[in-house]
Chains A and B, each alone.
Chain A
Amino acid sequence: MTWAEFLPLIFLAVMGLSLLAYVVLDGYDLGVGLLLPLASESQKDTMIASIGPFWDANETWLVLGVGVLLVAFPFAHGLVLQALYLPVAIMLIGLILRGVAFDFRVKAPLQFKGFWNNAFFAGSLLASSAQGWMLGSYITAFQPGPLGLAFSLGIAITLPAAYILLGAGWLIMKTDGELQLRAVFWARRVLWPMGVALVAISAATPLVNPAVVDKWFGVPEVFALLPVPLSCAIAFFAVRWVVTHPEVVKAGYGWVVFVSTVLIFVLAFFGLSYSIYPDIVIGRMTVWEAAIGTEALTVIFIGVAITLPVIIVYTVFMYRVFWGKARDLTYN
């Protein structure tokens, strides 16, 4: 493989990993937003305090992911985003509402706090459902028709559920006392519906996208890939074990919920990537067809190679600064 052929693959990896980072990182704060209406007033403040320092940087991964799609694969960018025109707009309006609600809910006069709490929830719901919808229509290669529609609808419901589990896992780590107990309860409630929905989606994927069948169910692929669903199942039952045993959470193993959920996301991501590769728009455009010129890619590559490690270092630094249980933030 030449450098010119290899370079687009690097950017595919950067884009994919950015979107994975986005889904996991913004996933937990969207999940916290989805859980907000279930909490008491003071718990709402703690919940928002637990994600306050992070959400902005989390969303920047989306900008990077879409940015790489935009700058490295402009031919796919237009195709994908035009096909997803409406869900993109819905997601953006959702992200706007919740992004401003962080500040408005505490800075506006008190009588508007309820409104902005609702806006925070509504924004989180719009954004996460729209993302699910986008993922669904992407996997079905934007085919209209009832099957594709049902599939997209399924993911539009499943992704928020997965975010809720992630958000609950985050709250179990970052809070204590009553709120932590409630987070455990929320995780327990959402676990089975999410698990069933994930299995259903995995089973339906070959139906909506027949090309996947050969990749997964050929021999020896099926054996080589067996660890993927197995690990998912182990992660799922690890979560289940923790949330059904409150004493485990008390003993300090609450992080298992979050980490296992992240593992499920990571495995699902790699499963999906494997199914699609080397297409970037399924069945229509490969990664090489979508990429811009080698020379421009090289210019960006130099920037990525220098800045991305630095970004990762200071992201880790930021998480270290805010490590431990969430304290009250002077958000107002």
Chain B
Amino acid sequence: MDALILSRIQFAANISFHILFPTITIAMCWFLLFFRLRFIKTRDPAWEEAYYFWTKVFALTFALGVVSGIVMSFQFGTNWPGFMEKTGNIAGPLLGYEVLTAFFLEASFLGIMLFGRGRVSERVHLAATFLVAFGTTMSAFWILSLNSWLQTPAGYEIVNGQFFATDWLAVVFNPSFPYRFAHKLLASALTASFLIAGLCAWQLIKGSATAGTHKAMRTALVTAALVIPVQFVAGDLHGLNTLEHQPAKVAAMEGIWETQKGAPLTLFGIPDEKAGETHYAIKIPKLASLILAHDLDAEIQGINDFKGAHPPVAPVFWSFRVMVGTGTLMMAVAWFAAWQLWRQRKQMADGKIHLPKPLLYVLAGMTFSGWVATLSGWYVTEIGRQPFMVYGLLRTSEIATDIAPPMIALTLTAYLIVYGLLLVTYIGVLKYMAENPFKHAPIPGGNAALGKAGV
């Protein structure tokens, strides 16, 4: 294997591992803010319990996001030196603003949010929680703006092979950014909802539930049920946008080889790039045209129209099906659970949730379903834009390092071992924490000390 493919695998490994954690924390911090606000409003200790238990989960997840994120900031230089040399004038400010407006905010106020209780007033503590939530969202804003610009470049000119910004508003709010940003935030909300609901379900199964478990679970299930239809609409709009700007990606997603009017939707099949066809395809006539262009007879461009400039078909095709399949399953489960909650709303006067055992097992089994959907979604969009780094303008192969391949293989192996260890530990620790929540309950009377520091 050469330096290019090894660097690509390493980058994919690092960013796949990294995104698992921000996907949770971006939304979870808003959940925490909600728990905190509910507690301040109602003074019901159950909300406080929910806040402190999930703050611990948040802290752990955040730490994993931070350390894997530091790796990202070095990757560009170590493996992709051409990237910043060519796009630095545009990517630089966007990344710079992420560090300046998001990273420091989250990192500094996280300390106060986690350990500041008893040292700052309730109001300052609440503000710290808000600032961490705001910081994580800002971080998503800038990084997705850059990612979207690479997918749908706008507001630039090219001088001597280097990109220069001509219109910063057009750069930041490039054509695919609003869709990608919305899609990602909603994905985060769903990932966090299913994580919370799943661990809470596990607590109910194991008999380790606290009063906070019921509060958190209801919040998560209601959020999931409300967000998921919005996500399908956002995903659809994102798809329309992709069709307009990156038709080759859509052709690969749908497995459409020849340009045609009234293109059928391929539900399943085995795409074969060499033969230029999808074997054993199960198709529904005209549906692809309807979904993609909202018109039964719309013309959809096929992969064969993009010789040498289209992504590998099979991974994009499959990832897309995994994403949609997982999303559909999440919708079914979230709506069923919400319906169950609605049915027993009268009996829930005690604030306790009584869901059927099988549903609890399904929810627990889907704790990390958001990860599956998120990763497969990113694979669709990132593999789908290959072979380009800046879509249509700069190829990935033009910016790679020429470091000796064995060296990259060595670091790649080391990263994979570390990531494997961390992933197993992370999931194991979450399970352990769910089963032993009292170890993580707020200290009785701790609240009395709030505000004493006078800050």
Q: A residues bordering B, Cβ < 8 Å?
A: 52-54, 56-57, 59-60, 62-64, 66-72, 74-75, 77-82, 84-86, 88-89, 92-93, 95-97, 99-100, 102-104, 107-109, 112, 292-293, 295-296, 299-300, 303-304, 307-308, 311, 314-315, 318, 320-322, 329-332
Contact = CB atoms under 8 A, between A and B. Distances in A.
Contacts of A321: 111-112, 116, 119-120, 453, 455
A107 B92 contact: no
B101 A74 contact: no
Contact of A320 (B90, B105, B428, B455): B455
Contacts of A77: 76-77, 81, 84
A92 B70 contact: yes
B453 A71 contact: no
A311 B100 contact: yes
Contacts of B111: 52-54, 56-57, 318, 321-322
Contacts of A81: 74, 77-78, 81
Given A59-B66, A64-B99, A82-B81, A300 B92 contact: yes
A68 B81 contact: no
B12 to A, nearest CB: 16
Interface in B3-17: none
Nearest to B99: A67
18 contacts: A53-B112, A53-B115, A56-B107, A60-B99, A60-B108, A70-B84, A70-B95, A81-B78, A93-B415, A103-B63, A108-B432, A112-B425, A299-B93, A304-B100, A314-B105, A318-B111, A330-B115, A330-B443
Contact of B164 (A54, A92, A296): A296
A57 B131 CA distance: 14
A72 B91 CA distance: 10
A56 B110 contact: yes
Given A88-B74, A104-B429, A314-B108, A296 B411 contact: no
A82 B403 contact: yes
A168 B68 CA distance: 28
Given A93-B414, A318-B112, A296 B81 contact: no
Contacts of B325: none
B64 interface: yes
B103 interface: yes
B96 interface: yes
Residue from A107, A108, A300 having most chain B Cβ neighbours under 10 A: A107
Mostly, the A contact residues are: helix
Contact of A96 (B68, B77, B411): B68
A323 B64 CA distance: 27
Interface in B51-87: 56, 59-60, 62-64, 66-71, 73-74, 76-78, 81-82, 84-85
B233 interface: no
B433 interface: yes
B119 A322 contact: yes
Interface of B: 56, 59-60, 62-64, 66-71, 73-74, 76-78, 81-82, 84-85, 88-93, 95-97, 99-101, 103-105, 107-112, 114-116, 119-120, 162, 164-165, 168, 401, 403, 407, 410-411, 414-415, 418, 422, 425, 428-429, 432-433, 439-440, 443, 453, 455
Contacts of B76: 70, 77
Contacts of B93: 71, 296, 299-300, 303
Contacts of A84: 78
A242 B100 CA distance: 38
Contact of A107 (B91, B95, B401, B433): B433
Contacts of B455: 320-321
B81 to A, nearest CB: 3
Residue from A78, A104, A331 having most chain B Cβ neighbours under 10 A: A78
A60 B107 contact: yes
Given A59-B70, A96-B71, 10 more contacts: A60-B99, A70-B76, A77-B81, A100-B67, A292-B92, A300-B92, A314-B109, A318-B111, A322-B119, A332-B439
Contacts of A60: 99, 103-104, 107-108
B112 A71 contact: no
B100 A303 contact: yes
Nearest to A291: B88
Residue from B68, B108, B428 having most chain A Cβ neighbours under 10 A: B108
A296 to B, nearest CB: 4
A229 B108 CA distance: 35
B11 to A, nearest CB: 13
B422 A292 contact: no
Nearest to B81: A78
A81 B95 CA distance: 18
A292 B91 CA distance: 11
A279 B110 CA distance: 37
Contacts of B60: 103-104, 107
Nearest to A115: B425
A78 B84 contact: yes
Contacts of B429: 103-104, 107-108
A53 B89 contact: no
Given A77-B76, A296-B89, A96 B418 contact: yes
Given A56-B66, A56-B111, A59-B70, A295 B165 contact: yes
Contact of B95 (A71, A100, A311): A71
A74 B88 contact: yes
A66 B432 contact: no
B56 A332 contact: yes
A232 to B, nearest CB: 31
Contacts of B56: 107, 332
A78 B63 CA distance: 27
B164 A322 contact: no
Contact of B114 (A53, A79, A314): A53
Contacts of B90: 296
A-B pairs, top 10 by smallest CB distance, nearest first, are A78-B81, A81-B77, A71-B92, A53-B111, A74-B84, A99-B67, A74-B88, A296-B89, A307-B100, A57-B107
A33 to B, nearest CB: 14
A118 B258 CA distance: 58
B88 A85 contact: no
A108 B64 CA distance: 14
A303 B96 CA distance: 8
A103 to B, nearest CB: 4
Contacts of B95: 67, 70-71
A150 to B, nearest CB: 22
A71 B88 contact: yes
A295 B159 CA distance: 14
Contacts of A63: 69-70, 73, 99, 103
Contacts of A88: 74, 78
Nearest to B10: A89
Contacts of A311: 100, 104, 108
Nearest to A306: B100
A46 B69 CA distance: 27
Given A89-B78, A292-B88, A70 B73 contact: yes
